[in-house]
Amino acid sequence: MTSPGWAELAEQGRGVFIALFFMLGAVVGSFCNVCVARWPHGLSVIKPRSRCPKCLKPIAWYDNIPILSWFVLRARCRQCGQPISFIYPLVELITALLFVAVFLRFGLVPATPVYLAFCAAMVIVTFQDLADWTIPDEITLPGIPAGLLIALAGTYLGTDSELRVLNVLDALGGILLGGGVILAMDRITVWVLKKPGMGFGDVKLLAMVGSFLGWLGAFVTLMLASVFGSVFGLLMILRMRIKTGSGKPAPVETVVPGRQDAGKKKTEGTQKQAASTEDDEEITLEGHYLPFGPWLALGALVYLFFGPELIAWYIHRGAVLQGTTVYLP
């Protein structure tokens, strides 16, 4: 009698593995919160241990259980009674659900730990960009060579590994296409429109995505991110117009960067505020720009889980429109 393989083991213990991946994701999500809160300030994610951002007192282990502790404490610090941001359990829950999705999509294969780490990285990118308008180099810079090494491993592991990229050339193409397209868009925006462009953080992020998902993954990620971001931007404009009851958004007060007197304000453009998950400091940004990192991360995750299906659907749709027949494997 032969012992069951990984696929059979995953199927037999499906419920147990779902629970395990959920708990692992919640724990990793808790660490993601630490990264989002500390990296923008140049702080270590190892020391000191987790503490309340208001009273700075260490958080006991029983008050630091992912997701659950926030509800048990009723969203308040046990020591000082100050409110705890809902962002903490949200990050933990999203990471936990993504970990479960990776298990359900790929099973127990070599690609699974790779894409668990990739999902955690996208969570950190999303929430740090929303909170601080920065994309962490701690994720993108090591992520680019890591994607190349994984692609090299995919050359030997083959299709059974379920890796999206199975050769180094595909990963290199993803890096060049992903980083090059965003860099070109940034330069064109600066030269033609005389406005700040995409930002070099987006360049490094899409280059990293390309190293993990290949040139096609980088291209589809950019297309999806552009669609998602455009739809969200239009909805925000529509919401503001409805709220103001006029044809154009009303000006919103913004704090002038660099001013010591926070009471002096100006009313140019709109503002984007985000709270840090560590210290809840409000970060005020002028203009009508939206961070693009979260949409790139979302596009990358969509391609990770549904890439082959999206490509097959697109090819089939194009063939139907042209009245031809395409046979897909």
- Which DSSP string corresponds to 209-228? HHHHHHHHHHHHHHHHHHHH
Residue for token digits 């008050």?
63
At 240, list the tokens.
Answer: 């503001």
How many Cβ atoms from other residues are within 10 Å of residue 263's Cβ? 6
Q: Tell me, what's the pLDDT at 233?
A: 86
At 191, list the tokens.
Answer: 């030269």
- Nearest CA-CA partner of 86 in 272, 275, 298: 275
Whether 92 and 68 have beta carbons less than 8 Å apart is answered as: no
- Nearest CA-CA partner of 201 in 130, 258, 260: 130
Q: How would you write the pLDDT of the chain (329 residues) with one tens digit per residue?
A: 445 677 777 777 889 999 999 999 999 999 999 999 999 999 999 888 888 888 888 888 889 999 999 999 999 999 888 999 999 999 999 999 999 999 999 999 999 999 999 999 999 999 999 999 999 999 999 999 999 999 999 999 998 899 999 999 999 999 999 888 888 877 777 677 666 656 688 999 999 999 999 999 999 999 999 999 999 988 888 888 887 775 555 444 433 333 333 333 333 333 333 334 444 433 334 445 678 899 999 999 999 999 888 887 777 666 656 665 544 44
Distances (CA, A) of 297 to 8, 244, 314: 32, 32, 21
What phi and psi, each to the nearest 5 degrees, are found at residue 97?
Answer: -65, -35
Helix (H) or strand (E) holding 284: strand 282-286
How far is Cα 305 from Cα 300, in angstroms, rounded to an integer? 9
Distances (CA, A) of 247 to 74, 234, 235, 241, 289: 42, 14, 14, 6, 20
How many residues comprise the chain?
329
Q: Tell me, what's the pLDDT at 107?
A: 92
How far is Cα 10 from Cα 107, in angstroms, rounded to an integer? 6
Whether 326 and 319 have beta carbons less than 8 Å apart is answered as: yes
How far is Cα 16 from Cα 42, in angstroms, rounded to an integer? 39
At 63, list the tokens.
Answer: 């008050």
Q: Tell me, what's the pLDDT at 10?
A: 78
Distances (CA, A) of 58 to 39, 44, 48: 19, 15, 9
How many Cβ atoms from other residues are within 10 Å of residue 317's Cβ? 11
How far is Cα 308 from Cα 150, in angstroms, rounded to an integer? 19
Does residue 273 come out as left (phi exceeding 0), alpha (psi in the -120 to 50 range) or beta? beta
Residues 6+ apart with CB under 8 A from 81: none
At 283, list the tokens.
Answer: 């970060």
Q: Report if pTM > 0.85.
A: no
Whether 212 and 149 have beta carbons less than 8 Å apart is answered as: no
The CA-based diameter of the chain, rounded to the nearest angstrom, is 78
What phi and psi, each to the nearest 5 degrees, are found at residue 257?
Answer: -60, 140
